Chains A and B, each alone.
Chain A
Amino acid sequence: MSKQNDKEFLYHSLPDYILSKISDQDLISEIKSEIENNPDFKNEYDEMLGAFKFLDSARLDSPDEIYFSNLSVKINDRIYKEKITFNLFDWLGLKWKTLIPLSLIVIAAFLIFNLFIREKEEPAQNESSVLYNSNENIENKGKVYKVDSISQKNPISDPEILTKNKSDFTINESVTFKNSSKRKHNSNNDLNRITEVNDNQLLKVNKIDLGLLAYNIDGLDNQENELDPEEDILFFKDSDEDESDVEILKLTPEEEKEILEHL
């Protein structure tokens, strides 16, 4: 240790020397000799001694005993208050911790579903337009046709083909098809058959005799006939000249069955 460091160390040990907190006898004797021989050191010592004398004479106020007895009550009270607040925040924190990832997962799942799954489904839907039967309304250029009891004579004059429906139905002319003929199938339990229709035609398959009826939309409102309750409706808009219907209608039951099985 250099002399300078030695001196510094002696100076720094001066307060402890005054308060007799030094146990090292060598250090004590060294400080004593320094006080005797070094006037600067002596001045420092005197100043510090005076300060300590003052500190000894002046005591800082300490709180009354009652303060300490009340302190635990105060702290307990604050802890209780904090506890209530903390539990609430803790609860909220936990909720947010779970809610945020959950909502992110839900959003992600929704986006994935929309972007990928629906994209795959849409072309399939376009190819096979599914028509749902019957008691549902289908808009037709804003018009709703209501038929309480219909028994349509086949405009093509096929007496075997009947239509009936005792419920409301509407006709949708706005159904569009990509191809000239589309596969449509009825989701109704009564009609699980599949048949083919031409443009602007909607077919409903009779579950009993598989007869097909096409009728003109224009004549729909005024046509009323008794319906056979055991038959379902076959429909749809048609032009009388449509030969494909005629062909279908002229099929024998065996041929129809074969076609349907084929489909």
Chain B
Amino acid sequence: MVLDHDDADDITQEVFLKLYRSLGDFRGESKFFTYVYKIAVNFSLNHINKNKKINMRKSDIDNVNIRSLDISADEEMNSKERTHILEEAIKSLPEQQRAVFNMRYYDNLTYEEISSLMNKSTGGMKANYFHAVKKLGKFLKNHNKFEEIESN
């Protein structure tokens, strides 16, 4: 969700520390996985909020790089480049949509689980996921990546 290994490492450690401290607060009303996941999501969202401005500046710089990649559109896109573009596409999402997209697409959580984690309605989470995928599609379309995928 934070798309940076160092940040992810920090957050992971923080999550485990938080768990260590507040394990006594766990009442067993929900699954332990949900409890841990919720802490992780909260930490990640806090981190995203905190580094929003910095990330935006970074993405501005990286967008230039992406455009420079577009110049060599004929070249075969290697996996690193794809990953980089994907990261940028995910970064372009609003934080809640990004969280929901990660939970649904990468972690295969159900909408019910996501809604309980985010304290939002199931329908709202479904809408969030839809808009997240739509925005990703638009981002990739704007960068002419669909054609490359088609050709590959």
6 smallest CB-CB distances across A and B, nearest first, come from A58-B82, A51-B137, A47-B137, A58-B86, A50-B146, A12-B130
> What are the interface flags for A58-102 relative to B under an 8 Å C-beta threshold, 1 for contact and 0 otherwise?
111101000100010011001100100000000000000000000
A-B contact pairs, 21 of them (CB 8 A): A12-B129, A13-B126, A15-B129, A44-B134, A48-B137, A50-B141, A51-B134, A52-B133, A54-B85, A54-B145, A57-B82, A58-B85, A58-B86, A59-B83, A60-B87, A63-B8, A71-B13, A74-B13, A79-B16, A79-B20, A82-B17
Complex: how many Å from CA A13 to CA B129? 9
B61 interface residue, CB < 8 Å from A?
Answer: no
Are B149 and A53 interface neighbours, CB within 8 A? yes
- Which residues of B does A touch, CB under 8 Å? 3, 5, 8-9, 12-13, 16-17, 20-21, 79, 82-83, 85-87, 104-106, 123, 126-127, 129-130, 133-134, 136-138, 140-141, 145-146, 149-150, 152
- Which residues of A does B touch, CB under 8 Å? 8, 11-15, 44, 47-48, 50-55, 57-61, 63, 67, 71, 74-75, 78-79, 82
Q: A12-B123, A63-B9 are in contact. List 6 more A-B contacts (CB 8 A).
A: A14-B130, A50-B150, A60-B87, A71-B12, A75-B16, A78-B13
Complex: how many Å from CA A23 to CA B127? 18
Given contacts A53-B149, A75-B16, contact A60 B133 (CB under 8 A): no
Are A55 and B16 interface neighbours, CB within 8 A? no
A67: chain B residues within 8 A (beta carbon)? 9
Min distance, Cβ A45 to any Cβ of chain B, angstroms: 10
Given contacts A12-B130, A15-B130, A58-B83, contact A50 B20 (CB under 8 A): no
Are B134 and A48 interface neighbours, CB within 8 A? yes
Complex: how many Å from CA A133 to CA B136? 100
Complex: how many Å from CA A15 to CA B141? 17
Complex: how many Å from CA A59 to CA B84? 10
Min distance, Cβ A194 to any Cβ of chain B, angstroms: 70
